[in-house]
Amino acid sequence: MPNALLRKLSSFIDLSEGDRQAIEGLCSHRITVEAKRNLVREGERPNDVYLLLDGWGYRYKLLPDGGRHILAYLIPGDLCDIHIFILKTMDHTLGLLTPATVAIIPQERILEVMDKHPRIERALWWATLVDEAVLREWLVNIGQRDAYTRLAHLFCELWMRMRAVGLADEGRFSLPLTQEELGDTMGLTAVHVNRTLQRMRAEKLIMLESRHLTITDAPRLVETAGFEPNYLHLDRRAEIAKLR
């Protein structure tokens, strides 16, 4: 299995053989973690950078009233904040949704590699900025769109991101999220997520079963979502992965 980080960064910038080896090197210390574990909790200050190689992770905050809001999903190739050590403490929690393979990279290693490989440094910054851009788009999504459009938009985004790391064939990919988790992501209740998914199924846009999403009518899904992939900043190689 190819290295997801390598694959992701390559879609942004051409890497030399040395760059590639350096990236492989970063992933050398791997651990496997069971589902539902937290990697870093709100209030803590991690010493390492985590890189997800396999499985799904997520960022979330808990509210005093027991609510939870999911802030981001991490798929293979995604890094947690490479500059977290500048801040005193985490303001949210980073957890795993599925069993996962995680590379643990000590701060110094990352800094050293970024120092020696300017292209990697640039690519890592790109990845960080894209994460932030995704956050902005989620804000728009929740703020401005109704439940149906919102879910459609999320599915389009996850589809594109999974494709970018080679984890979606055609319109089908792993989506290990419960309706409750989808609700906590979109600011909806699980009940309403269910209603909305029924409708999307009835209208033959998607199939969602046994933790896999199949997009059955991509053009219409993209259209109803008003999905514009520019915020993912896949520009350079985006041609390869055109929407249709």
Partner DNA sequence: GCCCAATCCTTACTTATGTTATTCTCACGT
Partner DNA sequence: ACGTGAGAATAACATAAGTAAGGATTGGGC
The values of phi and psi at residue 46, to 5°, are -70, 155
- Among residues 170, 162, 163, the alpha carbon closest in space to that of 207 is found at 170
63 binds, among a copy of itself, DNA, none (CB under 5 to 8 A by kind): a copy of itself
> Cα 4 to chain center, whole Å?
12
198 binds, among a copy of itself, DNA, none (CB under 5 to 8 A by kind): DNA
Residue 195 binds to DNA (criterion: CB under 7 A): yes
Q: End-to-end CA distance of the chain, in Å?
A: 26
191 binds, among DNA, a copy of itself, none (CB under 5 to 8 A by kind): DNA
148 binds, among DNA, a copy of itself, none (CB under 5 to 8 A by kind): DNA
Taking phi over 0 as left and psi of -120 to 50 as alpha, with beta for the rest, 192 belongs to alpha
Cβ of residue 213: shortest distance to DNA, in angstroms? 11
Residue 178 binds to DNA (criterion: CB under 7 A): yes
Residue 148 binds to DNA (criterion: CB under 7 A): yes
Looking at the Cβ atoms of 99 and 166, the one nearer to DNA is: 99
Residue 146 binds to DNA (criterion: CB under 7 A): yes
> What secondary structure letter does DSSP report for 239?
G
H helices present in the chain, as ranges:
4-10, 17-26, 107-116, 118-144, 147-164, 179-186, 190-202, 218-225, 235-238
Q: Which stretch binds DNA (CB under 7 A): 24-32, 85-93, 141-149, 224-232?
A: 141-149
Residue 210 binds to DNA (criterion: CB under 7 A): yes
Query: Which spans of this chain sit near DNA (rule: CB under 7 A)?
Result: 146-148, 178-180, 187-192, 194-198, 210
